[in-house]
């Protein structure tokens, strides 16, 4: 019997060491990621800004909808707006022969900027930088020479939506006019980042705290340039894609990202990996289940909800607004301590490990850490195979 226990302990030590060596990056990163003490829900909505004038009215409707709710501290729900500051100016390109942009301004997009300002003043909007354009202009121009659909899109710009462009071309930080995409020149990237941060500042009168890389394709050079320009936070889908592969899919994602994890030059990542796109059929029940899991994991729920849910037919818009209403109503009932705040504010709280929001006690941190590790399929499999599932489950139960 004694022999058996000695063998068991030895087995757990050896297999534990092997598991740790194999998955140490994720094991350590999950331990370091702050554990939230209360549920957090943020709606992250991209692609607003350049493009059709009809966006202004629906943003006004969203302001009225969100302002009707508040959390237990009296804060309204926040929809962060990933703003695109410019797009191609079709007529100017035709007459000049080269790329020309139309930057959003009080002249071109007065009502839209007013709606964003009103929402920001009421605390329901927070503008984040999505990009000067939702494409890399030289790549778009190159593609227009061989692709008739891009040429016809250019003819309809600046009113055409960038969502209609071939998906690889919607990536701003690679040249996807050929596939696999080509890396951009470093100096061009630095110049473009400088330009887009300055344009954001000119329109919104402050440096963007948060950026959302278009289609989540960007690399270390872009990241460094954003940090240098004063950006604090990058919204990620939990990893960094760096290019588009031969089939046009985002690729090159070696690196995973965790909330409040530091990237290049002290910039910090946030993770947006739950989705609520009513026009794609995502249901409120699924969103509530996603929120429930996030609460267990001590993580915020950053819901991705693009502007395309609110553009197009009246029916689609009404449906999306109604679904957001039901999502919020249900969430406030199911989680009375639910908190609403912006991604930028939340990032600061997590970086500072603010004890009011972030768990300091070892017991609950241990409990949540084990729960997080269970979400990693390979690690879970290894725990079952080696028997580590038993001690880990026991600690999880005892700390719960
Ligand atoms: Zn986008």
Instruction: List, for residues 65-77, the tens digit of each pLDDT value.
Output: 999 999 999 999 9
Asked if residue 258 has pLDDT above 80, the reply is yes
CA of 249 to the centre of ligand 1 (A): 15
CA of 45 to the centre of ligand 1 (A): 9
CA of 247 to the centre of ligand 1 (A): 20
Backbone angles phi, psi at 318, to 5 degrees: -60, -45
CA of 172 to the centre of ligand 1 (A): 10
Instruction: List, for residues 146-193, the tens digit of each pLDDT value.
Output: 999 999 999 999 999 999 999 999 999 999 999 999 999 999 999 999
CA of 50 to the centre of ligand 1 (A): 11
How does residue 250 score in pLDDT terms, banded at 50, 70 and 90? very high
Measured distance CA(223)–CA(138) in Å, rounded: 21
* Average pLDDT of span 122-150: 97
CA of 215 to the centre of ligand 1 (A): 6
How does residue 1 score in pLDDT terms, banded at 50, 70 and 90? confident
29 touches 256 (CB < 8 A): yes
CA of 390 to the centre of ligand 1 (A): 44
Asked if residue 35 has pLDDT above 90, the reply is yes
Measured distance CA(61)–CA(46) in Å, rounded: 17
CA of 84 to the centre of ligand 1 (A): 8
Q: Strand, coil or helix: what is 273?
A: coil
Asked if residue 253 has pLDDT above 90, the reply is no
CA of 134 to the centre of ligand 1 (A): 7
CA of 11 to the centre of ligand 1 (A): 49
Instruction: List, for residues 56-106, the tens digit of each pLDDT value.
Output: 999 999 999 999 999 999 999 999 999 999 999 999 999 998 999 999 999
CA of 132 to the centre of ligand 1 (A): 11
CA of 44 to the centre of ligand 1 (A): 11
CA of 53 to the centre of ligand 1 (A): 18
CA of 361 to the centre of ligand 1 (A): 38
CA of 370 to the centre of ligand 1 (A): 34
CA of 304 to the centre of ligand 1 (A): 10
H or E segment at 219? Answer: none
CA of 298 to the centre of ligand 1 (A): 27
CA of 214 to the centre of ligand 1 (A): 5
CA of 83 to the centre of ligand 1 (A): 9
193 touches 229 (CB < 8 A): yes
Measured distance CA(125)–CA(294) in Å, rounded: 23
CA distances from 93 to 144, 199, 210, 293, 361 (A): 12, 21, 31, 49, 60
* Average pLDDT of span 118-137: 98
CA of 301 to the centre of ligand 1 (A): 19
Residue 210 β-bridge partners: 233
Q: Are strands 243-244 and 250-251 parallel, antiparallel or unpaired?
A: antiparallel
* Average pLDDT of span 245-255: 88
Instruction: List, for residues 321-354, the tens digit of each pLDDT value.
Output: 999 999 999 999 999 999 999 999 999 999 999 9
Structure token pair of residue 317: 């818009």
Measured distance CA(272)–CA(299) in Å, rounded: 10
Measured distance CA(347)–CA(326) in Å, rounded: 27
CA of 310 to the centre of ligand 1 (A): 14
What's the pLDDT at 2?
A: 86
What's the pLDDT at 254?
A: 66
Asked if residue 252 has pLDDT above 90, the reply is no
* Average pLDDT of span 357-362: 97
Instruction: List, for residues 360-397, the tens digit of each pLDDT value.
Output: 999 999 999 999 999 999 999 999 999 999 999 999 99
CA of 14 to the centre of ligand 1 (A): 47
Q: What angle do CA 212, 217, 218 make, to 5 degrees?
A: 80
CA of 307 to the centre of ligand 1 (A): 9
E strands present in the chain = 41-49, 79-84, 86-88, 101-103, 125-131, 210-211, 233-236, 243-244, 250-251, 268-271, 274-275, 301-304
CA of 135 to the centre of ligand 1 (A): 10
What is the pTM (predicted TM-score) of this model?
0.96
CA of 82 to the centre of ligand 1 (A): 7
Instruction: List, for residues 262-308, the tens digit of each pLDDT value.
Output: 998 999 999 999 999 999 999 999 999 999 999 999 999 999 999 99
């Amino acid at each position: 019997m004694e022999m058996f226990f000695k063998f068991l302990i030895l087995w757990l030590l050896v297999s534990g060491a092997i598991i740790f060596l194999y998955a140490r990056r994720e094991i350590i990163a999950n331990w370091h990621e702050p554990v939230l003490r209360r549920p957090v829900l943020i709606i992250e909505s991209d692609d607003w800004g350049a493009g059709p004038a009809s966006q202004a009215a629906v943003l006004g409707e969203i302001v009225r909808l969100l302002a009707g709710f508040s959390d237990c501290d009296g804060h309204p729900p926040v929809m962060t707006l990933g703003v695109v500051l410019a797009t191609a100016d079709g007529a100017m390109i035709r007459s000049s022969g080269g790329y020309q942009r139309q930057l959003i301004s009080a002249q071109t997009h007065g009502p839209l900027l007013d709606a964003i300002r009103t929402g920001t003043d009421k605390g329901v909007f927070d503008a984040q930088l999505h990009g000067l354009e939702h494409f890399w202009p030289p790549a778009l121009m190159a593609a227009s020479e061989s692709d008739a659909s891009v040429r016809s899109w250019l003819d309809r710009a600046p009113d055409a939506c960038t969502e209609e462009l071939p998906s690889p071309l919607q990536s701003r930080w690679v040249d996807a006019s050929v596939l696999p995409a080509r890396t951009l020149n470093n100096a061009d990237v630095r110049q473009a980042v400088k330009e887009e941060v300055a344009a954001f500042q000119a329109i919104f009168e402050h440096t963007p705290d948060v950026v959302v890389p278009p289609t989540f394709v960007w690399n270390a050079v872009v990241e460094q340039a954003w940090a240098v320009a004063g950006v604090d936070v990058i919204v990620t889908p939990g990893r960094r894609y760096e290019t588009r592969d031969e089939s046009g899919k985002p690729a090159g994602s070696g690196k995973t990202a965790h909330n409040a994890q530091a990237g290049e030059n002290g910039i910090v990542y946030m993770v947006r990996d739950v989705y609520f796109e009513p026009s794609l059929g995502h249901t409120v029940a699924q969103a509530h289940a996603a929120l429930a899991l996030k609460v267990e994991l001590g993580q915020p729920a950053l819901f991705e909800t693009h502007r395309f849910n609110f553009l197009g037919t009246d029916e689609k818009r009404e449906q999306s607004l109604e679904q957001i209403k039901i999502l919020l109503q249900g969430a406030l009932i199911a989680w009375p301590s639910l908190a609403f705040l912006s991604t930028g504010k939340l990032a600061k709280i997590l970086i500072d490990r603010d004890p009011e929001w972030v768990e300091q006690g070892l017991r609950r941190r241990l409990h949540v850490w084990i729960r997080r590790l269970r979400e990693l399929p390979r690690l879970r499999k290894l725990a079952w195979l080696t028997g580590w599932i038993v001690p880990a489950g026991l600690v999880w139960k005892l700390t719960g």
